[in-house]
Structure 1
Amino acid sequence: MSELKENVPKIRFPGFTDAWEQRKILDNVEEVLDYRGKSPTKFGMEWGNKGYLVLSALNIKDGYIDKAVEAKYGDQELFEKWMGERRLDKGDVLFTTEAPLGNVAQVPDDEGYILNQRAVAFKTNSRKTNNDFLAQLLRSPLVQESLNSNASGGTAKGIGMKEFAKLTAYVPTQVEEQTIIGTFFKYLDTLITLHQRKLSNVKNLKAGLLQKMFPKDGEDFPEVRFPGFTDAWEQSRLGEITSLITKGTTPLDKSGNGTINFVKIENIDSTSGEITASQKISIIEHEGYLRRSQLQEDDILFSIAGTLGRVTSVKSDILPANTNQALAIIRLKTGYLDYVKTYLKGKAVSDYIRKNPTIGAQPNLSLEQVGNLEISLPSEEEQVEVGTFFAQLDRLITLHQRKLEHLQEQKKALLQQMFV
């Protein structure tokens, strides 16, 4: 393949045909703002809880600033002493140099920020590139790969500016092409952020409703109810409404050959509860050694080892199936399935898990502890209303999650194909 063909991306906007040019990344940068090593105590001052937000590797995420994570602030005096004559302007590119390495975001506005530990900011030379393009270039697979291969350190990898200054990348020779690429990906980032917010809002709504639509500890009535229901809720133990609480074990044959789905915690999606069984066991083990843990439709699976409290139910499309000792099988004899699943995801159960795990090589709950778990039960009709409502909310969360993941995968693929 000719050099010309090697130095062009697979996908381009119409009207651009020139080969891309290899440059040092910092050739596109007018100024690097680097305040690493500073601390408020050097000025005889301290961080506060209001004023100018401090930007660091803690809150510079990939594509956005998380203003809620361990937020620190500096007052006007500290801001002036810290930043001096230099300021972070809207669009400046933020880059984390370690722990984590390689997160890229842009300054969202001109409100003023303090740049702190493990992060630097780049101001671009508008004659050679623009902020939006540089941000996407730093996120591109080849640049990220180059960062990691030139980083130092063990678990917490990092890169100094001396090493960073050696890094090169291919860029379009025309600033117009860079601008179009940068604008396109910025729009995609905005779309991703929009879906992230939608997902976060629905999750927060669910968390709030779980608090209000179930009785608080020691109470018999929830704060919020569907119309027409006024009776007190009753207390029961999970074992009293089930016909079976058991668990599986490890297959003797670990080859993975067979036709029976074998479900483990990692096969259960933490958001949707969807089961993706990748391991198989033989029909011989399913009918013999693992007979007690044969799964049936509508069985509840509840994780009791390692990751505690993950909940889902078995659908017919994964049957025949079996499971291991990290998942309790809960088979109801009374109670509405979606209601019981929702209750098991709520605060009362998470508090129970926090107070009762047996700590060994990994935290775990015994089947006896699962059976003794207290559950608040309204009438069967109210269980149906509450369970159906939260099942619909879970489906909405899953829908938003899938849309978000689809956009993120699209962006990942486009970064691979629209950069050299």
Structure 2
Amino acid sequence: MKTIIPKIRVKNFLEAWTRKKLQSLAPLRGGFAFKSEKFQNVGIPIVRISNIGFDGTVGGEFEYYSKLNPDEKFVLKGRSLLLAMSGATTGKIAMLDSEEEYYQNQRVGYFQNNGAVDYDFLSSVLQTKAFTNQLNAVLVAGAQPNISSKEIDSFEFCIPESIEEQSAIGTLFRTLDDLLGSYKDNLANYQSLKATMLFKLFPKAGQTVPEIRLDGFEGEWKKVKLKDVTESIEYGLNASAKEFDGENKYIRITDIDDVSRKFKENSLTSPDINVSECDNYLLCEKDILFARTGASVGKTYLYDIKDGKVYFAGFLIRARIKEKFDSKFIFQNTLTDRFTQYVKVTSQRSGQPGVNGKEYGEYELDIPKCEEQQAIGAYFSNLDNLISAHQEKISQLETLKKKLLQDMFI
């Protein structure tokens, strides 16, 4: 008989793994069929399928049930491993970890923690391909997704007999999830801080000073147009893309990340043209690109010298910022609600939305003295670096988790 062992083992554990049905480990229990007229705005929250997110968390808006327990067994408290059993999130797993009580809706399954398996280990097992493949096999294509507890209970998994090995593996993944959660919380805080400061560090309409000033600065800001702070506003290169030649990068609208506004380098290309004749389309420091048409109109990118030798494509407009103005400060202006609203109004066309170079040049912004521009630009640059660092760390941890889920389970 073939020995069943995973590719990667926890140190000091050597026994082979065995195949078992989920029913013998933690049978799935359905919830309570609450009647809609019993829902209240106060009471005990009900976990419904809409509260189970694609990210494995329980949240969102809850409905409440104010009556005493419909049945004690449908009360969730402590660590509860849940499964969405119908709807768009069918098959999604979430861990509810709370000392507060929740009710379990009938379309939400609960894996009963009877002590037959380490709960953290089980949570990890249910994130593997072994679970996904069996789930897909019982879902009916084209129908409203739904699954029964009987179907889930019949799923089989290879697990170690030793609870100690299960616990070691479960603890590893719980630690990894906690670390991911911490980085995601910090990322959300930094992103929220940036949104707040973009609102408060720039003057509101009709104002000549911002709500918040960095230390050491005073005086009113001056109203100018984008064309007043630029040496030129020019359209990009009219050339198709080809396979990346290892040196000359080509940036198009789709190469600018919608959220971070960084140059995405996961699928680099080069302009399909003799670049020796295209120096005018080569980006330099203090260059800002603007998307001029389509759904992404208004999306911007500030050239970073670390991006290397970059040529910009025809559906982008380059604004080259004058030496006496801070390009980082100007770029952050393009992330404000004020700029977004300008683009929304200006881009309205009978056909595809768009903003041309002349129209971008007419955008009005408020500018302080150079030193304050530089201070604000540096503030947001540092904040952007923190956000990028957290995004990169989250990506690395998610990649690590995916690899471990492949190699530590069968």
Counterpart position of 1:20: 17
Counterpart position of 2:139: 151
Q: Contact (CA 8 Å) 1:239, 1:245: kept in 2 or not? A: yes
Q: Say whether residues 1:45 and 2:33 are aligned partners.
A: no
Q: Which letter maps to 1:22?
A: R
Give the drift of 1:229.
Answer: 2.2
Bigger Cα displacement from structure 2, 146-155 vs 344-353: 146-155
Q: Contact (CA 8 Å) 2:225, 2:365: kept in 1 or not? A: yes
Q: Contact (CA 8 Å) 1:306, 1:326: kept in 2 or not? A: no
Counterpart position of 1:190: 178
Counterpart position of 1:404: 394
When residues 129 and 316 of structure 1 are mapped into structure 2, their CA distance, relative to the original with a 3 A threshold, is same
Counterpart position of 1:125: 114
Q: Say whether residues 1:65 and 2:57 are aligned partners.
A: yes
Q: Identity, % of aligned pairs?
A: 26
The one of 240, 244, 248 equivalent to 2:236 is 248
Q: Contact (CA 8 Å) 2:288, 2:318: kept in 1 or not? A: yes
When residues 85 and 140 of structure 1 are mapped into structure 2, their CA distance, relative to the original with a 3 A threshold, is closer
Counterpart position of 1:281: 270
The one of 129, 136, 144 equivalent to 1:141 is 129
The one of 294, 309, 320 equivalent to 2:309 is 320
* Count, aligned residues: 405
The one of 364, 385, 388 equivalent to 1:395 is 385
- Partners of 2:237 and 2:169 in 1: CA distance: 53
Bigger Cα displacement from structure 2, 93-102 vs 271-280: 271-280
Counterpart position of 2:341: 351
When residues 12 and 307 of structure 1 are mapped into structure 2, their CA distance, relative to the original with a 3 A threshold, is same
Counterpart position of 1:103: 92
- Partners of 1:393 and 1:351 in 2: CA distance: 24
The one of 83, 102, 115 equivalent to 2:104 is 115
Q: Say whether residues 1:339 and 2:329 are aligned partners.
A: yes
Q: Which letter maps to 2:327?
A: L
Bigger Cα displacement from structure 2, 382-391 vs 277-286: 277-286
Give the drift of 1:308.
Answer: 4.1
TM-score in terms of structure 1 length:
0.85
**SS at 1:224's partner residue?**
coil
Counterpart position of 1:380: 370
Q: Which letter maps to 1:65?
A: T
Give the drift of 1:227.
Answer: 2.8
When residues 72 and 377 of structure 1 are mapped into structure 2, their CA distance, relative to the original with a 3 A threshold, is same
Counterpart position of 1:3: 2
**SS at 1:34's partner residue?**
coil
- Partners of 2:125 and 2:187 in 1: CA distance: 27
Give the drift of 1:359.
Answer: 6.3
Give the drift of 1:12.
Answer: 1.5
Give the drift of 1:243.
Answer: 2.3
Give the drift of 1:135.
Answer: 1.0
When residues 268 and 80 of structure 1 are mapped into structure 2, their CA distance, relative to the original with a 3 A threshold, is same
Counterpart position of 1:311: 300
When residues 352 and 137 of structure 1 are mapped into structure 2, their CA distance, relative to the original with a 3 A threshold, is same
When residues 359 and 32 of structure 1 are mapped into structure 2, their CA distance, relative to the original with a 3 A threshold, is farther
- Partners of 1:283 and 1:65 in 2: CA distance: 46
**SS at 1:133's partner residue?**
helix
Q: Which letter maps to 1:178?
A: Q
Bigger Cα displacement from structure 2, 130-139 vs 96-105: 96-105
**SS at 1:329's partner residue?**
strand
Cα root mean square deviation, aligned: 2.9
Bigger Cα displacement from structure 2, 323-332 vs 276-285: 276-285
Bigger Cα displacement from structure 2, 220-229 vs 163-172: 163-172
Q: Which letter maps to 1:3?
A: K
Q: Which letter maps to 2:155?
A: L
The one of 264, 269, 284 equivalent to 2:252 is 264
Q: Contact (CA 8 Å) 2:326, 2:373: kept in 1 or not? A: yes
Counterpart position of 2:196: 208
TM-score in terms of structure 2 length:
0.87
Give the drift of 1:173.
Answer: 1.8
Counterpart position of 1:371: 361
**SS at 2:112's partner residue?**
strand
- Partners of 1:206 and 1:361 in 2: CA distance: 34
The one of 180, 185, 193 equivalent to 2:168 is 180
